[in-house]
Structure formats: C-alpha cells, structure tokens
Amino acid sequence: MSERGALLFARYAYPPNELGYCGPADSGALLRPEETAGIERHARRFEGAWCYLELLAERAGLADPLDERVVEAYWIGNELLDLTTPGALLDRLRDRFAGQQGGTWRDASERALAHHSFQVFDVYPWAGLLRTPAAPTALSVLDRCRIRTGVVRSVSGESATVESRPLRWTGTCLAPGAPVQESVRWSTGGRSLLPGLAPGDLVALHWDWVCDIITAPQAARVESTEIRQLTALGLARLP
C-alpha cells in the first residue's frame, strides 16, 4: 500500500465522512497519518470512491487502488482517466450500484468518467433537482460536494478564510459565480493532514474543509474536468 496515496485519499474523503455522508463510522481514522493501514481499511468501506479507485488501478496495471496516481486521478484528475472507458465504468457501476435510485449515470454513455465530478453530478440525484422547488438545496449540496479550488486569504488557528467561486444556477446552466470569501477548516482538535497553511496558498476544498495545497495545473485540471462533465450533462457551455 502506498502511504502517500492513503494520506491523499484521507485528505479528500474526511470532510463528507465526518458529516456522515460517505464511508463508515469513526471519521477520525482518516486523521491518523501514523496509522496508514487503518486509513486503508477505512477507505475500502467507501462504497462509491473505492469502486472508482479499483477500476482506475486495474486499467493502469497497478496493484494498489491507493497508489498516489490513482487517488489523484479520482479526486483531481490526471492522465489515468484516459485509460478507463465510459463503458467499463458503467459496467462497474451497474454491478456495484445495482438498486440505487436517482442520478442520471445509467444513461451517461460517453460522458461517464472515473472522476469525483461524475459521482457528484451524475450518480447523486441532486443535479436532477435543479429544475424543481428543491433547487436551492440541490445547488448548495452540489457546490459543497464537488472538489472546488480557492486561494487562502488569512489563517486563524484551525480555520482559514479562503476566496473561491461558488456555483450559481441560472435556470438552465451551472456556472462559477463571483468570488466570495468563506471560513473553512484545515485542522480539528489539533489534527490535520496538512503541515500548515499560509495566505496565498492555492488549495482544494471539499465541503467546509481544506483538503490539500495544490499546483496551478492541478487547479486547472479540477476546473476543466468539472466544466466538461457539466457540458456533457447539458448543464453548462464550454467557453
């Protein structure tokens, strides 16, 4: 098992796990970097994410679903995504998600991608609720559940103020809105998977948590992959 990959998975998976949305109980297991074997056991119980990681690893000829390249491909995006066909992913999802209601993934055809953005916008049912009275709730969940990018403006203890662009719904399209500043966490109870945070850091966010300090190319990959998925789904237009 790749220790670096396990820690990278934990950085992105902790926020929804802590909130009780994904994965098993005891989200604190993901904040114990000294116990990567425990992180691996915990990761295997994420029914959604683990399915993608296994497929990405298989297609890349890698034995470890927590290989750092595999984990990066799912949460951020990299060249491994090109090795997995939409058909192979849909076959895997039909097997693993049999009986799961909601979402548009069964009809995804060529837009199916082994990336977190596909899970958020196609597998979960929220995108389909944007044209209903539940639109405000759906928009909020989609915005927080996706991996989004931002820039740290200030740090205070275990919290930080980050400037990012939330999704807005025009009635026909999802698009990045004007930049706003939000308070997010990067540590809790003295535990974090980041060595520190400083103003100016470019970061990836998931729910109300700073997952990682990322590079400009990684941020561009997150953003471009999201817009391509939304465009394929008919919820955005390529610039």
- The pLDDT value recorded for residue 131 is 92
Domain membership flag for residue 66: yes
- Torsion sign across C-alpha atoms 78, 223, 186, 9: negative
Position 208 in a domain: no
Q: Is 138 among the domain residues?
A: no
Q: For the whole model, what pTM was predicted?
A: 0.94
Task: Give the three-class secondary structure for 159.
Answer: strand
- Confidence bin at 239 (pLDDT 50/70/90): low
Contacts 24+ apart (CB under 8 A), 33-39: 33/7, 33/193, 36/1, 36/3, 36/6, 36/7, 37/1, 39/6, 39/7, 39/9, 39/10
Structurally, the chain folds into a number of domains equal to 1
HSE-up (13 A, CA, CB side) for residue 67: 19
Q: How confident is the model at residue 35 (pLDDT cuts 50, 70, 90)?
A: confident
What is residue 2's predicted lDDT score, i.e. its pLDDT?
84
The CA angle 169-175-177, to the nearest 5 degrees, is 85
The yes-or-no verdict on residue 206 having pLDDT over 90 is: yes
Residue range(s) defining the domain that contains residue 38: 3-127
Q: Is residue 71 part of a domain?
A: yes
Please, what is the angle between helix 86-96 and helix 47-60, to 10°? 140
pLDDT digits (tens, 9 = 90+) for 47-66: 889 999 999 999 999 999 99
Residue type for 44, please? R
| Whole-angstrom distance, CA of residue 31 vs CA of residue 52 | 22
* pLDDT of residue 238 exceeding 60: no
The reply to whether 157 falls in a domain is: no
CA neighbor of 230 nearest in space, from 133, 95, 67, 104? 104
What is the average pLDDT across 111-135? 95
Let me know if residue 39 belongs to a domain.
yes
CA distances from 65 to 194, 196, 212 (A): 22, 27, 20
Average pLDDT, the chain: 93
Angle at 33 between CA 216 and CA 17, to 5 degrees: 75
pLDDT value, residue 237: 66
Q: Kindly state whether residue 30 falls inside one of the protein's structural domains.
A: yes
**Do residues 208 and 144 make contact, with C-beta atoms less than 8 angstroms apart?**
yes
- Can you tell me the mean pLDDT for 178-182? 97
Average of per-residue pLDDT across 15-41: 91
- pLDDT, residue 164, reads 97
The answer to whether residue 16 sits within a structural domain is: yes
